[in-house]
Amino acid sequence: MTFDSKIFVAGHCGMVGSAIVRRLEREGFSRIIVRSRRELDLRGRVAVREFFAEVRPDVVIDAAARVGGIMANSEKPVEFLLENLAIQNNVIEASADYGVQKLLFLGSSCIYPKLAPQPIREESLLSGPLEPTNEAYAIAKIAGIKLCQAYAREYGKPFISAMPTNLYGPKDNFDLHTSHVLPALIRKVHEAKKNGASEIVVWGSGSPRREFLHADDLADASLFLLQAHEPVDLVNIGCGEDLTIRELAETVCRVLEFSGQPVFDTSKPDGTPRKLLDIGRIRAMGWKPSIPLEVGIKKTYEWFIAFSEGF
């Protein structure tokens, strides 16, 4: 990838895609190509092929996906499966057919088995049953990894699959029903402060452990992988540390200067008990994360305050 490369960022309006575009711009890449959903529906194979035939990108970053938290995933398995398969099949196939030199396919740590040994190494893929609350999304993403690997094996395509841990940052989804846990906690604490409440309701038992990576760190890792010379097909991206949901809730309360307490609604699902990635592979290549959790939460809250009108 050079500064002259035509780089197509699929999903640039989302949290991950927008972080990648910001980073590419900051580095001085001048030919960044984006299309809104209205301009190009990535679920449509013909439209995607016409776009690739016309634009001929050199590099593709596939950050387009239907994503959501534990509730959205459990309630909408059909949409998570169909939409993600369609988007990634179209983008990956067109990248292969229209001469893309490098493709980065972004997935998620939920592709690994529910009870995979922790921290989870890339080798754990397909070694056991998945977590039921996000099985549909995970199966779609596993199909994407397998498609990239198949293109590499059969046609020599340098397609990379990167699996980030739970992400957060500006432009996250703060809808309490469909969001992930971190934006939900930020919003709950913000509203509790505003309303003078003394507690926030946290879903589940508080005991599941999760690892969190700021979207800007993921953008940094994405550029690193695209510029690396070592061949790599599947690579984890995380921060290397996890904490319980209770500890996370307490951290959000502290960072947002809320003196109330988290209380736990155990009628809501816990999901997988622990999800900590082994990041030895990308560390050995020379990459490491740089945004500590508390700093990232503070930055995300500042974004939320600035853009939360209408929430």
User: Among the candidate windows 51-59, 133-141, 236-244, 252-260, which touches ligand GFB by CB under 6 A?
Assistant: 133-141
User: Among the candidate windows 15-23, 53-61, 65-73, 293-301, which touches ligand GFB by CB under 6 A?
Assistant: 65-73
Exactly one of 5, 90, 179, 300 binds ligand GFB (CB under 6 A); that residue is 179
Q: How much is the CA Rg of the chain, to the nearest whole Å?
A: 19
Answer yes or no whether residue 208 interacts with ligand GFB by CB under 6 A: yes
Answer yes or no whether residue 40 interacts with ligand GFB by CB under 6 A: no
Answer yes or no whether residue 105 interacts with ligand GFB by CB under 6 A: no
Residues numbered 265-304 forming contacts with ligand GFB, rule: CB under 6 A = 268-271
Distance between CA 108 and CA 73 in Å, rounded? 13
Least separation in angstroms between residue 160's CB and ligand GFB is 19
Q: What angle do CA 283, 233, 235 make, to 5 degrees?
A: 35
Decide whether 100 or 104 has the Cβ nearer to ligand GFB. 104
Count the residues of the shown chain that bind ligand GFB, applying the rule CB under 6 A: 23
Beta strands at 243-244 and 209-210: parallel, antiparallel or unpaired? antiparallel
DSSP assignment string, the chain: --TT--EEEETTTSHHHHHHHHHHHHHT---EE---TTT--TT-HHHHHHHHHHH--SEEEE-------HHHHHH-HHHHHHHHHHHHHHHHHHHHHTT-SEEEEE--GGGS-TT--SSBPGGGTTSSPPPGGGHHHHHHHHHHHHHHHHHHHHH---EEEEEE-EEE-TT----TTTS-HHHHHHHHHHHHHHHT-SEEEEES-S--EE-EEEHHHHHHHHHHHHH--S--SEEEE--S--EEHHHHHHHHHHHTT--SEEEEETTS---SSEE-B--HHHHHHT------HHHHHHHHHHHHHHH-TT-
Answer yes or no whether residue 96 interacts with ligand GFB by CB under 6 A: no
Least separation in angstroms between residue 182's CB and ligand GFB is 7
Exactly one of 5, 134, 161, 236 binds ligand GFB (CB under 6 A); that residue is 134
Decide whether 149 or 244 has the Cβ nearer to ligand GFB. 244
Catalytic sites, residue numbers = 137
Site string for ligand GFB, 228-267 (x = CB under 6 A): -----------------x----------------------
Decide whether 94 or 217 has the Cβ nearer to ligand GFB. 217
Q: Tokens 């893929």 belong to which residue? A: 125
Exactly one of 51, 137, 151, 159 binds ligand GFB (CB under 6 A); that residue is 137
Residues numbered 139-168 forming contacts with ligand GFB, rule: CB under 6 A = 166
Partners of 212 in the beta sheet? 166
Structure tokens at 174: 């703060």
User: Among the candidate windows 155-163, 173-181, 214-222, 281-289, which touches ligand GFB by CB under 6 A?
Assistant: 173-181
Answer yes or no whether residue 170 interacts with ligand GFB by CB under 6 A: no
Least separation in angstroms between residue 66's CB and ligand GFB is 10
User: Among the candidate windows 36-44, 81-89, 174-182, 301-309, which touches ligand GFB by CB under 6 A?
Assistant: 174-182
Identify whether the C-beta of residue 276 lies closer than 8 Å to the C-beta of residue 211.
yes
Binding site for ligand GFB (CB under 6 A): 69-70, 73, 108, 110, 133-134, 137, 166, 179-181, 184, 202-204, 208, 210, 245, 268-271
